[in-house]
Amino acid sequence: MASTGSSSPQWEYDVFLSFRGKDTRDKFTSHLYSNLEQARIEAYMDDRELERGKSIEPALWKAIEDSRFSVIVFSRNYASSPWCLDELVKIVECMKEMGQTVLPVFYDVDPSEVAEQKGNYKELFIEHEQNFRNDLEKVRRWKDCLATVANLSGWDVRNRRGISEWESAIKRMIDIPDGNIIDVLPISFDGDTGNDGEKMKRNRADENRELE
């Protein structure tokens, strides 16, 4: 059910899923993908593992560009994958240049660990700085994009309370033609509803101003 209409882009996919396969493929991500399929929502899920040294195929870049939403499932080892991090950079590019809506999901990692590269993410980036010591600009872009996306409105599903609400929200937001999804997503990081919805709307408004 990709978007249609003469006044809006002709999206090939409703949702692009970015995730580290070893962490979530057989758990949260595959369950989410199955539910989206059942709801006739066009989702792109690439579950291959990229061999070290190989670059991402142009078809994958196009899939990101052709998606109305990108959902990034941050797991404890998401940042261990240069492939995932390169996807992330492309997604942020599409958010800034094409207005793509980006939604972070924190599966088994604290949002602050992602945003500030603390804990395990700090250790992973020590390795990246060693492995990519001849291209530290790439590492800097990865860090900047992690901080950008981790500070967007999203969901912390570590306690699993918010998963069913989150999946329902994903289905609802696809049906909103103008993309103003926060109006129907009064869901905070802990899965509760209520006043946090207003805070999320303000956060999204601030995010949009920063991108202008």
Q: What pLDDT tens digit does each residue of the chain (212 aa) get? A: 565 443 456 789 989 999 987 766 557 788 788 877 877 888 898 765 444 445 567 888 899 999 999 999 999 999 999 989 999 999 999 999 999 999 898 988 999 999 999 999 999 999 999 999 999 999 999 999 999 999 998 888 876 555 666 666 666 666 655 544 445 443 333 333 333 334 334 444 454 445 44
What is the torsional sign of CA 98, 202, 145, 66? negative
Q: What is the SS3 assignment for 97?
A: helix
pTM above 0.85, yes or no: no
The yes-or-no answer on residue 97 being catalytic is: no
Determine contact, residues 70/40, Cβ cutoff 8 Å: no
List of domains in the chain: 13-211 (3.40.50.10140)
Determine contact, residues 105/70, Cβ cutoff 8 Å: no
Q: What is the SS3 assignment for 202?
A: helix
Chain centroid to CA 21:
14
Residues 6 or more apart whose Cβ sits within 8 Å of residue 55: none
**Catalytic choice (12, 87, 116, 123):** 87
Determine contact, residues 185/171, Cβ cutoff 8 Å: no
